[in-house]
């Protein structure tokens, strides 16, 4: 019979490998949980803010890039000049066709921001 060798050390490399794999799994699932969709049951409201229709400005951008102030067609070059005829406190409602170029919408927002028009509403349809 051979004499037994004394067991003085333990090889921890396999344990480190297992711990690293577990760490990767935890970090991966934690990032999915963090960016997941949070479902909320939002409160509803029966009140609605209605502006005086005679005092608001409706600006529309059509699919082909045409601008309209209320029902009057305005060229892109005239937009800023025409906008400056309205008071800065005038409520402005923006209507933009969903297929219109986004740069037309940004062009309009830039003019509004540059001239300090801040009472803006972006109008969408309710599905």
Question: Strand pairing of 72-74 and 57-61?
Answer: unpaired
Taking residues 40-63, what's their average pLDDT? Answer: 63
pLDDT band at 18 (very low <50, low <70, confident <90, very high): very high
CATH numbers and ranges of domains, the chain: 57-122 (3.30.420.270)
The span from the first CA to the last CA of the chain, in angstroms, equals 86
Residue 78 has pLDDT above 80, yes or no: yes
Computed over every residue of the chain, the mean pLDDT equals 78
CA 87 from centre of chain: 29
């Amino acid at each position: 019979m051979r004499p037994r060798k004394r067991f003085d050390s333990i090889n921890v490399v396999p344990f480190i490998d297992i711990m690293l794999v577990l760490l990767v799994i935890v970090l991966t699932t934690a990032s999915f949980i963090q960016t997941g969709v949070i479902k909320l049951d939002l409160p509803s409201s029966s009140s609605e803010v209605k502006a005086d229709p005679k005092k608001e400005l409706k600006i529309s951008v059509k699919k082909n890039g045409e601008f309209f102030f209320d029902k009057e067609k305005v060229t892109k070059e005239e937009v800023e000049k025409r906008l400056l005829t309205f008071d800065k406190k005038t409520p402005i409602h923006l209507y933009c066709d969903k297929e219109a170029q986004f740069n037309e919408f940004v062009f309009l927002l830039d003019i509004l921001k540059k001239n300090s028009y801040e009472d803006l509403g972006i109008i969408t349809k309710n599905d």
